[in-house]
Amino acid sequence: MGKITSFIVTICNMYLLRGMVAYATTKSPVYGVSNITSYNTMGFNLVFTLIILIVAFAVFQYTGLGNRLKAIGAGETAARFAGVRVERTKMLIYMTAGMITGLAAFINSIKVGSVTSTAGNQLETQIMIDLVLGGMLVNGGAKVKFYNIILGALTYKILTAGLVMLGIEPKTQQLIMGIVFLIMVGIFADRETSMIVK
pLDDT tens profile 129-138? 887 788 777 6
SS3 30: strand
- The separation between CA 7 and the C-alpha centre of its own chain, rounded to angstroms, equals 13
Strand partners, 30: 115
Residues 133, 119: Cα–Cα separation, whole Å: 24
With residues binned 3-state (H G I as helix, E B as strand, rest as coil), the percentages for the chain, rounded to 5, are 70, 0, 30
The pLDDT confidence band at residue 139, using thresholds 50, 70 and 90, is low
- Taking only the tens place, the pLDDT of each residue in 22-44 is 777 767 777 777 777 777 888 88
Q: What are phi and psi of 115, to 5 degrees?
A: -130, 150
Torsion sign over Cα 50, 53, 56, 59: negative
User: What is the per-residue pLDDT for 196?
Assistant: 43
Taking the CA atoms of the chain, what radius of gyration do you get in angstroms? 19
Phi/psi class of residue 188: alpha, beta or left (left: φ > 0; alpha: ψ in -120 to 50)? Answer: alpha
User: What is the per-residue pLDDT for 54?
Assistant: 92
pTM here is 0.69
- Taking only the tens place, the pLDDT of each residue in 48-62 is 888 988 998 898 888
User: What is the per-residue pLDDT for 34?
Assistant: 72
The pLDDT confidence band at residue 197, using thresholds 50, 70 and 90, is very low
Evaluate if residue 74 carries a pLDDT over 80.
no
Evaluate if residue 3 carries a pLDDT over 70.
no
What percentage of the chain reaches a pLDDT higher than 90?
1
How many CB atoms are located within 10 Å of the residue 152 CB?
A: 21
Using the 8-state DSSP alphabet, how is residue 115 labeled? Answer: E
Selection from 164, 78, 178 nearest residue 125 by Cα: 178
SS3 114: strand
The pLDDT confidence band at residue 195, using thresholds 50, 70 and 90, is very low
Residues 110, 101: Cα–Cα separation, whole Å: 14
Evaluate if residue 194 carries a pLDDT over 50.
no
Mean of pLDDT over the chain: 79
